[in-house]
Amino acid sequence: MPDDTVLSEKYKEFVKKYIGGAPIKNRFKCSNYMYMVDRFLCILNITGERDDEYYDIGVVRTQLDERIVFDENLVGTELLPIAVLFAGDFVCLDYRNNVKEPIVCVWKHEESTDLNPVTSIISNSFEEFLNMLTE
């Protein structure tokens, strides 16, 4: 994230409380398509000793590498993956237009290429996204 990027208090509270869990309310609609959240990503101390370390935000961000980057010269990130969706897409916080209040989007893995991530807007905030989730 750019140096002045901010994680919302609502998001920080959520990560601390649920630590990357699989939600019961796990469906949402975006661009006339229903998506299912497999699991929210977590923030872990990576030691190589836990099976769930591949759900760490930093690990996922590294794996996605340049496929979630628009500008190769940017220090930080514009798209921060926060949840794994069924079939390989991710929910991301999108900081491109506002480093203090990111929108929430779907990053589409099959359509994205290096330095050309393809996204669809889900909501204007993380809290709004949580309110969209249904069983």
Run of H or E residues at 104: strand 103-107
Give CA–CA dist 84/29, Å, rounded.
15
What is the pTM (predicted TM-score) of this model? 0.87
For residues 60 and 81, is the Cβ–Cβ distance under 8 A?
Answer: yes
Q: Is the dihedral of CA 56, 57, 59, 60 positive or negative?
A: positive
- Domain extents in the chain: 9-132
pLDDT, tens digit (0-9, with 9 covering 90-100), for 26-46: 999 988 999 999 999 988 776
pLDDT, tens digit (0-9, with 9 covering 90-100), for 62-118: 888 888 888 777 766 789 999 999 989 999 999 988 888 899 999 999 999 998 999
**pLDDT, position 75:** 64
Three-state DSSP at 63 gives helix
pLDDT, tens digit (0-9, with 9 covering 90-100), for 1-24: 444 567 788 888 888 888 788 899
**pLDDT, position 5:** 60
The Cα diameter of the chain in Å comes to 41
Give CA–CA dist 90/84, Å, rounded.
5
Give CA–CA dist 127/8, Å, rounded.
9
Q: What is the DSSP letter of 87?
A: T
Amino acid at 36: M
